[in-house]
């Protein structure tokens, strides 16, 4: 099962920074994560960058059981 890694606001919305979420594509992983984590989490997905195994990806990217899908929302700092 792919590992979903969450950072910043999406981590807060999900209540966790890491979860095993079933799916054969990024889209399926995010759909199943939305079912688990709810509407607040789902609302943040469109603003996030998606990475699979450290490489920029999109929702059509195919994933396997050993892959890591990361969601990174925009962050500001100073």
Question: Per the structure, how many domains does the chain have?
Answer: 1
Q: What is the pLDDT of residue 28?
A: 98
**pLDDT value, residue 78:** 58
Q: Is residue 68 part of a domain?
A: no
Could you give the CA distance from residue 37 to residue 9 in angstroms, rounded to a whole number?
Answer: 13
Domain-embedded: residue 58: yes
Residue 54 has pLDDT above 80, yes or no: yes
Q: Which tokens is 20 given? A: 């095993």
Q: Is the pLDDT of residue 4 over 90?
A: yes
In a domain, 78, yes or no: no
Whole-angstrom distance, CA of residue 25 vs CA of residue 78: 35
Express as a percent the part of the chain with pLDDT over 90. 94
Domain that holds residue 51: 3-62
> Is the torsion defined by CA of 59, 61, 64, 68 positive or negative?
negative
Q: Degrees (nearest 5) of the Cα angle 13, 8, 42?
A: 35
């Amino acid at each position: 099962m792919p590992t979903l890694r969450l950072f910043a606001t999406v981590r807060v919305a999900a209540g966790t920074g890491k979860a095993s979420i079933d799916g054969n594509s990024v889209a399926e992983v995010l759909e199943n994560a939305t079912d688990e984590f709810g509407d607040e989490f789902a609302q943040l997905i469109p603003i996030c960058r998606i990475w699979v195994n450290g490489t920029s990806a999109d929702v059509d990217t195919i994933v396997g059981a050993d892959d890591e899908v990361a969601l990174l929302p925009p962050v500001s700092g100073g």
